[in-house]
Amino acid sequence: MTQQLIHQQFLEYGQSTHELLERIRPFGHAILLDSSQPDALGGRYDILSAAPDRIIRFGPEGLKAFDGQQRALDTEHRDPFAYLDHCLAELGTAQPVDDLPFCGGLIGLFGYDLGRAVEQLPQHAEADIDYPWLLVGRYLWAIVVDHKLRTCRLISHPLADLGLLHQIQQRLAAPASLEPQTFRLTTPFASNLSADDYRNALQRIDDYIHAGDCYQINFAQRFKATFEGDPWQAYQALRQVAPTPFAAFMDMPEGAILSLSPERFLLSDRNEQVETRPIKGTRPRGRTPPEDEALANELLHSAKDRAENLMIVDLLRNDLSRNCTPGSIKVPELFSIEPYPNVHHMVSVITGQLRADTSALQLLRDAFPGGSITGAPKIRAMEIIDELEPQRRSIYCGSIGYISSCGRMDTSITIRTLLCQEGAIYCWAGGGIVADSQIDEEYQETFNKVNNLINGLQRLD
């Protein structure tokens, strides 16, 4: 495989990442992978790009590909993962540059319903959101901000269009346009489930658990409102109230995605070390420091939450083992407590070594969707989710991230994520249901997870 040399131009570190995105938004298909530094726990890189040279969509109508001018491209592929692998292979292998995470490659959304390309699933839930199951661009340039080394670089792949790069450099050198863009809700958020509907669904899950169909089901409700204005302003406001290390903004013609995710799905680095960080177990933040500490300790010592977390750790150990070297799967962190602005989460870490005969994309395919947001066993859990949730999940509980030509992949789980499309805005919240779950507590937990997002948007006007 040809080793491609990546060009890099150092920019001034300390510029607002959001200002940089505003400068490149006019190029179209702009995307920001946002570590929310310095406010978030963890996270290191911000990656921004726009104007991909290839756009890949997949959904019920099959696979469609377009060039940078939105002209349809012929493809013989039916498997979206195989076509993504083809698009990546066309770039060759980029020669690693220092700690640069992205050297040109694929960035985008892998929606929850993409699981239908991997597994045969029922079709009970209503598919009322017309959004691709997969929406990925091939980006040949990016701005990469490294908050550890305190660098900001404009990188470009040798195949990048030189005329486009010149326009980008001009835009970056010009003063940023800081004209305020308004956003406001025009109706309040409403759930797709009443409290009684939610209780009935959880009772049905309890029946399935006691019948031996499953051990855990991640069950969610969806909230919907209407809005007017620019979703970018909404994202910036939410970023203030919910800084998270796997946040993202996708400015797409199909609709904008605003993700404030705290959860990593899959990381595969250049040394083919693999990591996943499932979240299972939640408590609200306390109103005072002693109350906050008590709630964190309650979560840490909760037998129910530990059991729920351990089920998913075992599921993900199995998922990683499909593409990792036998004996390499480890659990270096079990039941760690991480604080966020509105909740405490219980997080575990599973690692492994990718086999030489596979790839990061194959790992993503075989582990998709993430076990922390399905349940166990995974396929039966997904069948029950489709039966009991009234509408399909669309972008929720899928993944956003990148696969770089230099061999690195990093992806999130799209929880705490909103979709803005044709004047409607959607967000979701759920939790893992096990045999000893208390219905009222689980119901309240869903609100604990999204109240800061909903309240943050309601304050915009």
Distance separating alpha carbons of residues 171 and 176, to the nearest angstrom = 8
Neighbours of 127 (CB within 10 A): 13
- Which tokens belong to 442? 């689980």
For residue 189, the model assigns a pLDDT of 96
Give, rounded to a whole angstrom, the gap between the first and last alpha carbons of the chain: 54
Strand partners, 7: 156
pLDDT at position 178 is 59
10 Å Cβ neighbour count for 178?
A: 10
Least Cα distance to 359 among 118, 84, 157, 98 occurs for 84
Q: Is residue 405 within 8 Å of residue 360, measured between CB atoms? A: no
Q: Distance (Å, rounded) from C-alpha 244 to C-alpha 249? A: 12
Give the model's pLDDT for residue 77.
Answer: 76
pLDDT of residue 4: 75
Which of 311, 403, 400 is closest to 354 using CA atoms?
403
pLDDT of res. 297: 95
Sign (positive/negative) of CA torsion 111, 117, 122, 126?
A: positive
0.85 surpassed by pTM: yes
Q: What is the pLDDT of residue 360?
A: 94
- Residues labelled as active-site residues: 263, 280
Tell me how far apart the alpha carbons of residues 381 and 221 are, in angstroms, rounded to a whole number. 16
Q: What are phi and psi of 381, to 5 degrees?
A: -60, -45
Q: Residue 179: CB partners within 8 Å, gap ≥ 6? A: none
- For residue 166, give the 3-state DSSP assignment: helix
Token representation of residue 343: 């909740």
Q: What are phi and psi of 298, to 5 degrees?
A: -60, -45
Which residue numbers in the chain have pLDDT < 70?
1-2, 176-180, 461
pLDDT of residue 78: 84
pLDDT score for 1 = 47
Q: Please choose, from the candidates 62, 388, 363, the residue with its C-alpha nearest in 3D space to the C-alpha of residue 198.
A: 388
Predicted pLDDT at 95: 75
- pLDDT at site 386: 97
pLDDT of residue 99: 84
Pick the CATH number of 3-458 from 3.40.250.10, 3.60.120.10, 3.40.50.2300, 3.40.50.1820: 3.60.120.10
Helix H or strand E segment including 384: helix 378-388
Compute φ and ψ for 311, nearest 5 degrees: -60, -45
